[in-house]
């Protein structure tokens, strides 16, 4: 297909893939595309992003399939991870709270997750994760997910503000060349040391072409 194909063509392709696979998230993405997607949505659903999220889903299904409370996704962007978490039949999640500091993200995340929004299982918030008091949230979060620790100025400092015992899923990487990455780590062991979790239930590394992504699941 040429690069100047009409938007309706891509919409029809997505609807066709949804019909072929029966994947509800693809169907939700097709509806979002029909509504007029943001121009950078493709980055949030490119093959590298989806592979990383699939890895997260598999690890969470094996480690913590039934979080005891809402799952907060920090730096959630357009809510793609929230959509995948809620659609995974291996997981039992009462609610996703999708948080990003960019106010343009919440309306798109709500549209993508419109099925779960109607059911009261999804909400998008606009806030800076570093300014939130997670201990004051009601109900208490059952799991906090931060897949962008490399973007924080001070990972240990942020973690120190979280309630003791809070379940966490953290990701970082060794992609030091990216200017916005301020807290990259050179190895999985370095990430474990940086996070300093009191309990560690899962640790792993996912090599990609340009960098390696690291993931930890455990308790603050």
Q: Please write the tens of the pLDDT for every residue from 53-62.
A: 999 999 999 9
pLDDT above 50 (res 88): yes
CATH code of the domain in which 58 resides:
3.40.50.150
Helix axes 24-36, 105-112, angle to 10 degrees: 130
User: What span, in angstroms and rounded, lies between the C-alpha atoms of 175 and 210?
Assistant: 7
Do residues 30 and 104 share a domain?
A: no
Q: How confident is the model at residue 31 (pLDDT cuts 50, 70, 90)?
A: confident
Domain that holds residue 20: 1-37
Point out which residues pair with 218 in neighbouring strands: 168, 200
Place of tokens 């699941």: 217
Do residues 128 and 61 share a domain?
A: yes
Do residues 154 and 206 share a domain?
A: yes
Predicted TM-score of the model (pTM):
0.90
Using an 8 Å Cβ cutoff, are 83 and 113 in contact? yes
Nearest to 144 by CA among 120, 162, 131, 125: 162
Rounded to the nearest integer, the mean pLDDT of the chain is 91
pLDDT above 50 (res 147): yes
Do residues 28 and 88 share a domain?
A: no
Q: How many other CB atoms are found less than 10 A from the CB of residue 220? A: 19
> Is-cis flag, bond preceding 139, omega within 30?
yes
Do residues 204 and 109 share a domain?
A: yes
Do residues 182 and 81 share a domain?
A: yes
Q: Write down the pLDDT at residue 187.
A: 98
Do residues 164 and 182 share a domain?
A: yes
Do residues 111 and 203 share a domain?
A: yes
Which of 41-50, 88-97, 107-116, 172-181 is predicted with the least confidence, judged by mean pLDDT?
41-50
pLDDT above 80 (res 112): yes
Distance separating the N- and C-terminal Cα atoms of the chain:
49
**Count of the separate structural domains present in the chain:** 2
Q: How many other CB atoms are found less than 10 A from the CB of residue 190? A: 14
Please give the share of the chain, as a percent, with pLDDT higher than 70: 93
pLDDT above 70 (res 6): no
Using an 8 Å Cβ cutoff, are 125 and 101 in contact? no
Do residues 163 and 201 share a domain?
A: yes
pLDDT above 70 (res 5): no
Q: Write down the pLDDT at residue 168.
A: 98
Do residues 15 and 54 share a domain?
A: no
Q: Write down the pLDDT at residue 28.
A: 78
User: What span, in angstroms and rounded, lies between the C-alpha atoms of 38 and 15?
Assistant: 18
Q: Write down the pLDDT at residue 18.
A: 66
Do residues 7 and 60 share a domain?
A: no
Do residues 128 and 156 share a domain?
A: yes
Q: Write down the pLDDT at residue 9.
A: 64
């Amino acid at each position: 297909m040429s690069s100047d194909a009409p938007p309706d063509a891509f919409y029809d392709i997505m609807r066709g893939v949804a019909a072929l696979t029966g994947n509800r998230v693809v169907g939700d993405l097709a509806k979002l595309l029909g509504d007029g997607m943001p121009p950078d949505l493709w980055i949030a659903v490119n093959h590298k992003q989806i592979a990383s999220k699939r890895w997260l889903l598999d690890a969470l299904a094996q480690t913590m399939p039934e979080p005891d409370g809402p799952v907060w996704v920090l730096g959630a962007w357009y809510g793609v991870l929230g959509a995948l978490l809620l659609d995974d039949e291996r997981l039992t999640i009462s609610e996703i709270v999708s948080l990003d500091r960019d106010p343009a993200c919440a309306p798109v995340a709500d549209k993508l997750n419109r099925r779960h929004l109607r059911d009261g299982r999804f909400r998008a918030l606009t806030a800076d994760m570093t300014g939130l008091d997670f201990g004051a949230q009601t109900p208490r979060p059952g799991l906090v997910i931060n897949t962008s620790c490399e973007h924080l100025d001070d990972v240990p400092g942020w973690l120190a503000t979280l309630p003791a015992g809070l379940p966490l899923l953290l990701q970082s990487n060794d992609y030091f060349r990216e200017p916005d990455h301020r807290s990259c780590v050179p190895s999985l062991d370095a990430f474990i040391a940086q996070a300093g979790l009191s309990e560690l239930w899962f640790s792993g590394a996912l090599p990609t072409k340009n960098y390696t992504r690291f993931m930890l699941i455990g308790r603050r």
